[in-house]
Structure 1
Amino acid sequence: MRVTLADPLALIPGFEETRREQMARYPQTEPGWQPVHTVYVPADRFDATTITAWGGTALDMLRRYVRVKEVNRSSDTFSPISKALHERVTAKLDAEPVEDLRIDFEDGYGFRPGEEEDEHAVRAAEAVATMHVDGTLPRRWGLRVKSFADGDPGRSVRTLDVFLTGVVERAGQLPPGFVATFPKVLMRAYLGQFADCLKALEGGLGLEEGTLRFEMQVEAPRRSGSSTRTWSPGWAAGWPPRTSASSTTPRAAVCRRSSSGSTIPPATTPGTSCRRCSPEPGSSCPTARWPPLPSPTTGTPCRGCGSAT
């Protein structure tokens, strides 16, 4: 068998040191409990009976469409398994229909006046406190705030503040299992900024450090390349993009703004903008990093997003 690289490890001289650092920072542990699903409920449609109601609906559908007689009529090979599975699913839906709950203030909720969102955050806190007392609060629960990428982090943090303050005041504590979902993470700095807000809330609410945990949601990964579209690292750092060893012609770059992953032709005039990137004729695409030209050429693909002007 022929290979091109005689000794691949010789190309990675720092691997062992990096591996030791990894094991020290992230020691291997036995995997803990993980929910089988996460249920998102729009904040304006959530109350203290939501989980019980959803469980009741699921049980009703199970009993209506999967009858015990039909389970028992299955083949001899699968009948014992089918019967046991039916019993376990029924018991699960009766005891714990939702393992992980997110009260949604983002896509499932939309943009609303501040007073209305405040009111829904207060009502959600009241519902969570009631569920905690009644024993119906899922073992993992929390809310999904609005993304910082939407441009209004103050609204996002205020909703979280109103909600958490209300829960702690009404329940006398923060019930275990809280997790916040931080969506549409487009910039790494947003993570540190959100973590600082959580730390401030911990101090203000008298919670131990590390109590408020969050999960990040990367919903719009930027395409890194394909057989026809190549990502040039120079695109992120600024002009010029990286060039190939045998040519000084810049590689085509994938737009960092467009969700379609448009290829930007190397021959396009630098600085040409379009209505998609900028409403001002002649201004440069915000993702392009070229100076603007006084008059963009009609029909020329934009170096920033790949669409025609």
Structure 2
Amino acid sequence: MAGAAPSLPAGFGHRADLLLAGTDADLARFLPGDSGTRKPVHTCYVLADLVTERTPAEWGVAASSAAGEAGGLAALAGVDDAAAPDLVEQVARKLREEPVEDLRLDLEDGYGERPDAEEDTDAVRAAHTVAAFARNRASGAAPAPAFAGIRFKCFEAATRAHGLRTLDLFLSTLVREGGLTEAGISEDGLPAGLVLTLPKVSAVEQVAVMVEAYEAFEDALGLPAGRPRFEIQMETPAMILGPDGTYPIPAMLRAAEGRVSALHYGTYDYSASLGISGQFQSLEHPAADHAKNVMQVAVAGTGVRLLDGSTNRLPVGDAAQRRETWALHASLVRRSLERGFYQGWDLHAHQLPTRFLTNYAFYRGAFDDAARRLVAYAGRSVPGIETADVADEPATARALARYVVRGVLCGAVSEDELREKGLDPETVRAVANPGAAASSSAGDRTSPETGETP
């Protein structure tokens, strides 16, 4: 059937392409979407002078021992051992093989102010430790994090020189003395999972200085352009609402020129900066939720990871204190996951059992339903005519697929389980991250920073 004659002039489509060419380029550059690759479920912060290459294994042993003293992982999870054998065994294996996924050697707040020579020594030692992690991970000689690096002092006037010097010593030592090129682990001397954290950012200009510093490192150390990336830690009100009344995070990400890998929420510095009394500082505070909502919208579509903060209540007291504190930690981890924050901070080895139990239970808990809906979605013969009990649109199917993929990436769900549900892993990944580079196979569980299998 012939329709009405077109009203747009001939060639208008070409004109639209010309008018929107710049917009198309900006969208591709600044909103590339999620890469679909592995992200850690947590970041563990430990004072740099206390970390050795044995620290991850020691944390795993301490976590397992603490869980055992509480009656075992099943008791800690509040389930019957027979009711969730897969969950219990998965977490037990995790604590043995990869108890720490992401480790930040801290040279900032907790580390404090120390003599220059001492801080220099610890920055150099941190570089050798991170290199040892990469070698251990490659050889399987000892448990090692897939991601590791340092948090250095911020670029505010009082600490800027310390921060830059520590970063310089760490990176220069890692490349020149780390031995990763000789070991064949790295082509450029940087571990695949290297992560560096810039704290207390309050202005776009501080991000621009970080980029310029990285360009200088690339020239001096022979690194590929754009290779070093960094995280931004949101701890100041000026990152949520700038002095000029704007929301600075998008401008910061643009100034970073694609180098920002993650955005952290800093619970206690941010809360204190708003005048919230110490006993009320929490991940659940309304002020925290507001800040994290702003962060979440700002990074949506950019491919930048989003991290929740920490709880400073540690399960290290008597049995009653541990039970109460583990329950709090588990509830906060679950709350973050439900709100789309898939990574958070852990400050003590005893927090690992509830971190992994809660994550694995989260991804296993709705897996059957998500798989059923994805199978029904893929099987629709006539779009718009629904035979399933839930009318999932493409955006919802994409969210379901991302949930399943995250479960696979963190080890909570296996690819064999996907196949048993009638799902092809490659197809699920394609639905989850359309347009993402097909860089990771099901067994890769890779990330933008690491191409390794944990």
Q: Indicate the TM-score class for this superposition, using the shorter chain for normalisation.
A: 0.5 to 0.7
**Partner SS, residue 142 of structure 1:** strand
Shift of 1:224: 7.3
Deviation, structure 1 residue 64: 2.6
Of the candidates 273, 277, 294, which is equivalent to residue 259 of structure 1? 273
Give the one of 160, 165, 181 matched to 2:172: 165
Which residue in 1 is equivalent to 2:37? 32
Query: Considering only CA atoms, is the larger Rg found in Structure 1 or Structure 2?
Result: 1
Query: Following TM superposition, by how much is the alpha carbon of 1:208 offset from its aligned partner in structure 2, in angstroms?
Result: 1.0
Structure-to-structure mapping, 1:51-62, within 5 angstroms:
51-62=56-67
User: What is the alpha-carbon distance in structure 1 between the residues aligned to residue 75 and residue 159 of structure 2?
Assistant: 54
Q: How far apart in 2 are the matches of 1:125 and 1:69? A: 38
Matched, 1:147 2:146: no
Paired residues of 2:237 and 2:274 also in contact (CA < 8 A): no
Q: Find out whether 1:213 has 2:229 as its counterpart.
A: yes
Name the Cα RMSD after superposition: 3.1
| C-alpha deviation, 1:127, in angstroms | 2.0
Deviation at 1:56, TM superposition (A): 1.1
The whole-number CA distance in structure 2 between the counterparts of 1:105 and 1:68 is 33
What's the offset of the Cα at 1:46?
A: 1.3
> Does the C-alpha gap of structure 1 residues 221 and 93 become closer, same or farther in structure 2, counting only changes over 3 Å?
same
The CA deviation at 1:259 is 3.3
Give the distance between the partners of 2:240 and 2:60, measured in 1 at CA: 42
Task: Provide closer, same or farther for how the CA distance between residues 63 and 214 of structure 1 changes in structure 2, counting only shifts above 3 A.
Answer: same
Q: Distance in 2 between matches of 1:186 and 1:104?
A: 20
Deviation of 1:62 (Å): 2.2
Contact 1:128/1:137 (8 A) holds in 2:
no
TM-score of the pair, normalised by structure 2: 0.43
Q: In 2, distance between residues paired with 1:19 and 1:205?
A: 35
- Aligned match of 2:403: none
- Counterpart for residue 192 of structure 1: 208
Structure 2, unmatched stretches of 5+, are: 1-18, 138-142, 181-188, 247-271, 276-454
Q: Is the 8 A contact 1:129 1:167 kept in 2?
A: yes
Pairs within 5 Å for 1:15-94: 20=24, 23-25=27-29, 26-67=31-72, 79-80=82-83, 82-94=84-96
Residue-by-residue CA offset, 1:170-203 (whole Å, 9 max, x unaligned)? 3232221111100000111000101111121122
- Give 1:150 deviation, angstroms: 4.8
What is the aligned counterpart of 2:102 among 100, 108, 117?
Answer: 100
Instruction: Quote the offset at 1:58 in angstroms.
Output: 0.8
Deviation at 1:129, TM superposition (A): 2.5
Amino acid at match of 2:146: R
Q: 1:74 to 1:106 in 2, by over 3 A?
A: closer
CA contact (8 A) 1:222 1:259 kept: no
Residues in 2 aligned to 1:157 and 1:223: alpha-carbon distance in whole angstroms: 21
Is the Cα–Cα contact under 8 Å of residues 185 and 218 in structure 1 kept in the other structure?
A: yes
- Determine the structure 2 residue equivalent to 1:121: 123
Instruction: Flag the structure with higher helix content.
Output: 2
- Structure 1 residues 33 and 164, CA, compared in 2 at 3 Å: closer, same or farther? same
Report the 3-state secondary structure (helix = DSSP H, G, I; strand = E; otherwise coil) of the residue aligned with 1:38.
strand
Report the counterpart of residue 197 of structure 2 in structure 1.
181
Q: Distance in 2 between matches of 1:210 and 1:188?
A: 19
The answer (yes or no) to whether the contact 1:39–1:100 under 8 Å persists in 2 is yes
Residue-pair matches, total: 215
Q: Distance in 2 between matches of 1:205 and 1:152?
A: 24
Displacement of 1:130 in angstroms is 2.6
User: Unpaired segments of 5 or more residues in structure 1?
Assistant: 1-15, 226-230, 235-257, 262-309
Q: What amino acid is the match of 1:144?
A: R
Comparing both chains, which one has the higher relative contact order based on Cα–Cα distances under 8 Å and sequence gaps of 6 or more?
2
User: Per the alignment, do residues 27 and 163 of structure 1 end up closer, same or farther by CA in structure 2, a change over 3 Å counting?
Assistant: closer
Q: Partner of 2:347 in structure 1?
A: none
Amino acid at match of 1:145: F
Taking a change above 3 Å as real, the CA distance of residues 74 and 119 of structure 1, as seen in their structure-2 partners, is closer
Question: Structure 1-normalised TM-score?
Answer: 0.61
Q: 1:64 to 1:120 in 2, by over 3 A?
A: same
SS of 2:149's equivalent in the other structure is: strand
**Equivalent residue of 1:149, what SS?**
coil
Offset at 1:68? 7.2
1:132 touches 1:171 (CA, 8 Å); kept in 2?
A: no
Distance 2:240 2:190 in 1: 41
Report how far residue 232 of structure 1 moved: 8.1
In structure 2, distance between residues paired with 1:106 and 1:98: 20
